[in-house]
Copies of this chain bind each other. A is one copy, B any other.
Amino acid sequence: MTTATARRTPADKHDERRRALADSALRTLGELGYARASLREIANNSEFSHGVVHYYFHDKLDLIVYCVRQYKATCVHRYDGVVADATTPEGLVAAFADKLVETIVDEAPMHRLWYDLRSQSMFEESLREAVLQIDQTLEDMIWRVVGTYAELAGREPAMTPHVAYGLLDGLFQQALLGYLCDLEGVLDDLRAQVHRLMPVLLAP
């Protein structure tokens, strides 16, 4: 029987280290982007030594994919509360839009890192599998929101999950870019856009 105080297996420790390393690396990666973040810089900004990175990750690609996967794994639950707490379609839309705006403000570096990675995957074959997987979980996440919205509204979604995700992601990306460029009003615009878009996603 495994008790709470049982000695962790080496494999556990290995995984834990990877997680901690990735957590730390995400800060640097989000700040500099994939190409500009050197492994040395990543190690320097962490509590780990330079060599340990290659001990726990095969190479830079391996590290970044792990990092983004780990980050997106938490992302995927960002709207769980929104979905769970919603009682009216309007309320859900409002909470969802607020959450979108909030995450742009709070986690802009993480989001731009994701878009960076997705862009790189268009060039780098070896990134594609991970990117496609992550994109799918994001699509699922969005679809949970849209599905709940449809239910609460008593209507049917008018589009596939893929389209719903594509549309919202396009809007989100534009807003993120605008936010990073210090453009005025992009966050309020995003909120308003989501309010107007959501009803359109449902069949009349």
Question: What are some 21 contacts across the A-B interface (CB < 8 A)?
Answer: A32-B123, A33-B123, A33-B124, A116-B119, A116-B122, A116-B123, A118-B119, A118-B177, A131-B177, A132-B183, A135-B174, A135-B177, A163-B171, A163-B193, A165-B174, A168-B170, A169-B170, A170-B170, A170-B173, A173-B173, A200-B200
Chain B hits for A118, CB < 8 A:
119, 177
A167 and B162: CB pair below 8 A? no
Does residue A6 face the partner (Cβ distance < 8 Å to B)?
Answer: no
B116 and A112: CB pair below 8 A? no
Q: How many chain copies does the complex carry?
A: 4
Cα separation A170 to B174 with both chains bound (whole Å)? 9
Cα separation A95 to B21 with both chains bound (whole Å)? 50
Cα separation A115 to B119 with both chains bound (whole Å)? 6
Quick one: CB contact mask for A31-43 with B, threshold 8 Å, 1 for yes?
Answer: 1111110000000
Does residue A196 face the partner (Cβ distance < 8 Å to B)?
Answer: yes
Interface size class of A (residues with CB under 8 A): 35 or more
Does residue A150 face the partner (Cβ distance < 8 Å to B)?
Answer: no
Leading 4 A-B pairs by shortest Cβ distance = A170-B170, A35-B35, A112-B122, A33-B123
Nearest CB in chain B to that of A131: its residue: B177
Quick one: CB contact mask for A121-137 with B, threshold 8 Å, 1 for yes?
Answer: 11110001001100100
B159 and A196: CB pair below 8 A? yes
B176 and A33: CB pair below 8 A? no
Chain B hits for A112, CB < 8 A:
119, 122-123
Chain B hits for A181, CB < 8 A:
121, 128, 132
Cα separation A158 to B200 with both chains bound (whole Å)? 11
Q: How far is the CB of A135 from chain B (nearest CB, A)?
A: 8
Chain B hits for A200, CB < 8 A:
200
A170 and B166: CB pair below 8 A? yes
